[in-house]
Amino acid sequence: MVKSNSYGLGLGQAMPVLLEAGAREFFIARWNEIVGILRHVAPDRVGVLHGPRSPEHAAYARAAGVRPVINSLEQARYWLDAGGGSCHLMVDTGINRLGIAMAQIGEPLLARLEIDLLMSHLASADEDVALNAVQRARFGEACAAIPAKRRSLANSAGIALGSDYAFDLTRPGVALYGGVPRPELAGIIRQVAFPQAAIIQVRQLVAGDIVGYNAQFTAPGPMRVGVVSLGYADGFMRSWGARGALQFGAARLPLLGKVSMDMVVVDLAAAPEAGEGDWLDVPYYLPDAAPASGLSQYELLTVLGSRFARQPAP
């Protein structure tokens, strides 16, 4: 899964790494993502998850050579009316998002499709719930009813459910970018995103000085603090609040006051050597950052703003 600019980390940075690692099939969500991914791979290796929502989309998919994911009988008609060709088909087995209904798997129209990949999506693979087995069984019914070259059910968390969920192709998303959706994957998946921001001013506070909007922090005594070029416009949301901290080497620098649009303030007591122009690390090991920020692992990645320069790791 490389939709949403590779979950916010940068398609141009992620694609070469994924290709080198052996990834061969790629999925985007929307039609305006096609141009970017075709800089890296041949069109027949690209699936468009939202499918052709109009005859124009179907014509564009045929012209570009990508495979649309058919999600409804209406989309199937658009595709066939445009001339058809190889496509993917999504079956809704219980998440009630995109996909044809289980009651439609015997529709004659579907037999006219040239289906490369028959797909479904797990709703709660990150939990140990009965719904996982229910969806697995329903997908088995769909596989028996609908001819296709290949089949795919497991997302990142679904991969950890075992081989019964693997089928011919798995579709990892958040796990590619450092997310750990199930405990079985802890210790296997490493951190991928390492955001940094610079100290732009060092200030000396005295007892009674306040920091930031609404005076949420008051200095109890003399303090050396750093103003950092990082804020909610960069995806560092206010929910980090007083629970969050940045890092300077091994030193933890607690946030002081509210997160602003473009700035945060940190306590520099643990890093007396840190000064203006120094870069601080944003702790972004996703399983830890999620409870610290109140955001999901997915949100932590996709909210990262455009002002971050995406660079490959050294």
Catalytic residue among 60, 149, 213, 285: 213
What DSSP line would sit under 194-228, residue for residue? Answer: --EEEEEEEEEE-TT-EESGGG-EE-SS-EEEEEE
The 10 Å CB-count burial string (b at 16+, else e) for 227-254 is bbbbbbebbbbbebeeebbbbbeebebb
Q: Is 284 noted as a catalytic residue in this protein?
A: no
Catalytic residue among 3, 78, 177, 284: 3
Give the dihedral sign, CA 265/270/276/279. negative
The residue among 58, 26, 56, 19 whose CA lies nearest residue 43 is 26
Show the 3-state SS of 98-148.
Answer: CCECHHHCCCHHHHCCEEEEEECCCCCCCCCCHHHHHHHHHHHHHHHHCCC
Other Cβ atoms within 10 Å of 138 Cβ, number: 17
Q: Is 213 noted as a catalytic residue in this protein?
A: yes
Residues identified as active-site: 3, 213
